[in-house]
Chains A and B, each alone.
Chain A
Amino acid sequence: MFDITVGNDGHVRLTGRLDATQVETARAAFAGLDTSCTVDFEALEYISSAGLGVLLSAQKRLSQSGHSLKLTNLNSHLREIFRIAGFDRVFTIE
Chain B
Amino acid sequence: MSSNGHFKREIDALPRIFEFTGAFAGQRALDDSIVFAMNLAVEELFTNIVKYGAGHDKEVGIELDVRDGYLVIEVVDEDAEPFDITAAEKVDVNKRLDEREAGGLGIHLIRSMMDYIKYEYSDRTARITLKKRLEG
Contacts and interface: CB of A to CB of B under 8 A. Distances in A.
A93 to B, nearest CB: 14
A49 B33 CA distance: 17
A43 to B, nearest CB: 16
Contacts of A63: 97-98
Interface residues on A, range: 20 to 34
Given A48-B106, A49-B44, A89-B93, A77 B32 contact: yes
B43 interface: yes
Closest 6 CB pairs of A and B: A86-B93, A53-B102, A49-B106, A49-B105, A90-B97, A77-B36
Interface of A: 17, 19-21, 46, 48-50, 52-53, 56-57, 59-60, 63, 76-77, 81, 84-86, 89-90
9 contacts: A19-B18, A21-B14, A49-B105, A50-B47, A60-B97, A60-B98, A77-B33, A77-B36, A84-B108
